[in-house]
Amino acid sequence: MAEILVLVDHVDGEVKKVTFELLTLARAYGDAAAVWVGPGYEGAKDKLAEYGVSKVYVAADEELTSYVVAPKVELLAQLVADRSPAAVFVAATGEGKEIAGRLAVRTESGVLTDVVGLADGFVGEHSIFGGAIVTHAKVTKGTPIIAVRPNSTAPEASPSTPEEEQVSVTLSDAAKGARVVEKVVQEKGERPELTEAAIVVSGGRGVGGADNFKLIEELADSLGAAVGASRAATDAGWYPHTFQVGQTGKTVSPQLYIAVGISGAIQHRAGMQTSKTIVAINKDSEAPIFELVDFGVVGDLFQVAPQLTEEINKRK
């Protein structure tokens, strides 16, 4: 079977869940070959082997992670030229999409980003216009480069004993054009990471202030969920911008998305419309978010959210 290269998304050796999703997806269409860039592989190899990896290309050189995304692109471009994989899968994160775009240019290939499903022949599914339209697209030139959104596939373990191959790349001057000068590791709270969480509870302008966001946090904690926010809430300074969901924020696709005091503007939908089940709490029955929901509660969030939290906590 042809190889599918899967770029491992990891932070200092800690592999993100989306990688296991990509490996699961890759196994359905060929041999899943992981590409590891940077240090930390030894600590992660057993975990990768749980997901049916046939081979791991390891580029452990620390220098590769010193220069933003360009070195990863050069390495992948070299692997595409040398190994002729059937496709390359990356996570549709900010970094993953930049890598996908650059790699497509380097390899003169087509690219699909923000894919939420895949069919035979690497036909990618996209959800657009607030989820109202689903489109299917296929790469017709070169090697399909496909950026898949986190949470699009359920990761399935399949133990394997991957072959390992050390690879290296000589970086061009162009790849060294921008260097990482500082890494700020954000404090990891108790909650799951927003783009990887299975459940997200987001608050909007209806929450009415920074202090009131504790209602959103309490509801999120009762469900083991991540907290998100609309741009109205982040612009008002009620919640940090890193938690913004939407066109100019993060894209999430959890199993369950609960929108609290959010109207459902198109720019917000762009970041959450592919969530599997959507619930909204809003006092305005005409709010556009209700066009999108699986379950809606028309009511005052200051009454509904605490009752919901209490009820969920009771049932634990």
Nearest to 115 by CA among 253, 5, 260: 253
The reply to whether 231 sits near ligand FAD by the rule CB under 6 A is yes
Output the CA–CA distances (angstroms, integers) from residue 153 to 150, 254, 270, in the order listed.
Answer: 8, 10, 19
Nearest to 221 by CA among 312, 154, 159: 312
The reply to whether 204 sits near ligand FAD by the rule CB under 6 A is yes
The reply to whether 269 sits near ligand FAD by the rule CB under 6 A is no
| Ramachandran region, residue 114 (left: φ > 0; alpha: ψ -120 to 50; beta: rest) | left
Q: Which is nearer to ligand FAD, 64 or 92 (CB)?
A: 92
Out of 150, 246, 254, 296, the residue judged to bind ligand FAD by CB under 6 A: 246
The reply to whether 214 sits near ligand FAD by the rule CB under 6 A is no
Q: Print the binding letters for residues 285-314 with ligand FAD: x by CB under 6 A, - otherwise.
A: --x------------xxx------------
Out of 109, 244, 253, 309, the residue judged to bind ligand FAD by CB under 6 A: 244
Show the tokens assigned to 89: 């899968």
Out of 66, 160, 212, 247, the residue judged to bind ligand FAD by CB under 6 A: 247
The reply to whether 205 sits near ligand FAD by the rule CB under 6 A is yes
Residue 304 CB coordination number (10 Å): 18
The reply to whether 267 sits near ligand FAD by the rule CB under 6 A is yes
300-304 long-range Cβ contacts below 8 angstroms, 24+ apart: 301/206, 301/207, 301/215, 301/260, 301/261, 302/212, 302/215
The reply to whether 230 sits near ligand FAD by the rule CB under 6 A is yes
The reply to whether 268 sits near ligand FAD by the rule CB under 6 A is yes
Out of 52, 124, 261, 296, the residue judged to bind ligand FAD by CB under 6 A: 261
Q: What distance lies between CA 170 and its chain's CA centroid?
A: 29
Angle at 253 between CA 295 and CA 183, to 5 degrees: 140
The reply to whether 283 sits near ligand FAD by the rule CB under 6 A is yes
DSSP H stretches of helix in 90-199:
94-106
Q: Which is nearer to ligand FAD, 106 or 231 (CB)?
A: 231
Residue 124 CB coordination number (10 Å): 23
Tokens 């998305």 correspond to 257
Q: Which is nearer to ligand FAD, 32 or 216 (CB)?
A: 216
The reply to whether 67 sits near ligand FAD by the rule CB under 6 A is no
Out of 265, 279, 292, 293, the residue judged to bind ligand FAD by CB under 6 A: 265
The reply to whether 75 sits near ligand FAD by the rule CB under 6 A is no
DSSP H stretches of helix in the chain:
17-27, 41-49, 70-83, 94-106, 213-223, 231-235, 266-269, 301-314
The reply to whether 233 sits near ligand FAD by the rule CB under 6 A is yes
Instruction: Decide if 294 contacts 256 (C-beta within 8 A).
Output: no
What is the size of the binding site for ligand FAD (CB under 6 A)? 28
The reply to whether 241 sits near ligand FAD by the rule CB under 6 A is no
Question: Which residues of the shown chain bind ligand FAD in the complex (CB under 6 A)?
Answer: 204-206, 230-233, 244-249, 261-263, 265, 267-268, 271, 281-284, 287, 300-302
